[in-house]
Structure 1
Amino acid sequence: MTALRRLLDALPLWALGLLCLTLGLAPFTPEPHIWEKLKMLAAGTLTRPVDIFDLLMHAAPFVLLALKLTFGRRPA
């Protein structure tokens, strides 16, 4: 069993949902931070290291949730 699989199995689905709603979308006004960073990425203005780190930090809960839903518990 890989380390990622063990991590995904250990994280409850509700906790990942909560992380997406809090860390993933914070701050909520005037627009979610991840949305701002995705717009910067699409426009080609995501160049500063702090902005790239910000995108990775806010996207991590969504990536983990997608992996959990995709590779959830399957028979080995």
Structure 2
Amino acid sequence: MLEQLPLSYAVIAAATLGLAPFVPEPHIWEKIKMLKAGTLKRPLDWFDLLLHTAPFVVLAAKLGQMAING
């Protein structure tokens, strides 16, 4: 499945969905800070963290697959 996904789509998803909203700071950055501080308690916050992390996981998997396959 990753073989069929263009790298550009994974990069665009990580840059837009992964970092949105951009102002005042990326949502994923806020959730990571909450996780580090121990204040990530509500189910909605966990869902947000997973939602904004997913594009980066896909991008990392795509890059790893490209590195292994050449």
Which one-letter code corresponds to 1:48 in the other structure? R
**Where does 1:16-35 land on structure 2 (aligned, <5 Å)?**
16-35=10-29
Q: Which runs of 4+ in 1 moved over 3 A?
A: none
1:74 and 2:69 correspond: yes
Counterpart check, 1:55 vs 2:35: no
Deviations 1:25-73 (CA, angstroms, capped at 9, x unpaired): 0000000000000000111111100000000000000001011111226
1:9 is displaced (CA, Å) by 1.1
Please name the residue that 2:8 is paired with: 14
| Residue segments in structure 1 that go unaligned for 5+ positions in a row | 1-5
What's the TM-score once normalised by structure 1's chain length? 0.84
**Any idea what SS the aligned residue of 1:60 has?**
helix
Identity of aligned residues (%): 61
Q: How many residues align?
A: 69
Task: Provide the aligned C-alpha RMSD in A.
Answer: 1.4
Normalising by structure 2, we get a TM-score of: 0.91
Q: Which consecutive unaligned segments of at least 5 residues does structure 2 have?
A: none
Partner of 1:3: none
